[in-house]
Structure 1
Amino acid sequence: MLTLSGAKFAAASAVRGRHCRFHWPLLGALALALAGCMPATTEIASADPADPAAKVAPASYRSTIAPYSSLRPATPAPWRDRNDAVAPRPKQDR
């Protein structure tokens, strides 16, 4: 809102031919003064984290490498048999 008022004032001053370079520090000081009126803290939605009596979820352990399976190289096998096992089946002639 304050920015909009400053923009309107600057536009009106530009139309009238006056420069508003001296008004920006005034607007900044006004914004800082109004910021001092704001509450220092806001209300939190859940339990206060500083409260030692607050209920929390229990901590549990989950392994980060649980689904791991070793990927060591397999023993060599005849390459033609392996290739034939994964090759697409030939289409039958009609």
Structure 2
Amino acid sequence: MLTLSGAKFAAASAVRGRHCPFYWSLLGALALALSGCVPATTQVAAADPADPSAKVAPVGYRSTIAPYTSLRPATPAPWRGRNDAVTPPSKQDR
């Protein structure tokens, strides 16, 4: 929010032709002073981790290789039959 206000002030000052470094240093000092008032972390309403009766999310397991099926050892198919299966039919009209 302060950055946006500072950017608007800088744009307005540039249009008017005035630059005041004092106001920029004052704005920086104010932002630094106010940053000390902000809490470092926010308190989340959560259960105590030491409480054994606290409800927790269920744990699940999914295998990363579950759909894998081994294709080895595979017996080789006759190559002539496989080749004939993918060959386009011959044209008899020629």
> Which residue pairs with 2:29 in the alignment?
29
Deviation, 1:20, is 3.1
Partner Cα distance (1:36, 1:84) in 2: 80
User: Residues 29-48 of structure 1: CA distance to partner in whole angstroms, max 9, x if unpaired?
Assistant: 21122222223332426x34
Structure 2: give runs of 5+ residues left out of the alignment. Answer: none
Q: Work out whether residues 10 and 20 of structure 1, in 8 Å CA contact, stay in contact via their aligned partners in 2.
A: no
Higher RCO structure (Cα 8 Å, ≥6 apart): 2
Matches for 1:24-63 after TM superposition, within 5 Å: 24-44=24-44, 47-48=46-47, 51-53=49-51, 54-63=54-63
User: Residues 63-92 of structure 1: CA distance to partner in whole angstroms, max 9, x if unpaired?
Assistant: 3333321122522221121233455678xx
Q: Is the aligned partner of 1:76 residue 2:76?
A: yes
Structure 1: give runs of 5+ residues left out of the alignment. Answer: none
Partner Cα distance (1:15, 1:58) in 2: 60
Partner Cα distance (1:55, 1:88) in 2: 64
Partner Cα distance (2:5, 2:63) in 1: 57
Deviation, 1:22, is 4.2
Which 4+ runs in 1 deviate beyond 4 A?
A: 86-90
Partner Cα distance (2:7, 2:79) in 1: 76
Deviation, 1:11, is 3.1
TM-score by length of 2: 0.59
Deviation, 1:60, is 4.5
Percent identity between the two aligned chains:
78
> What is the Cα-based RMSD across aligned positions, in Å?
3.3
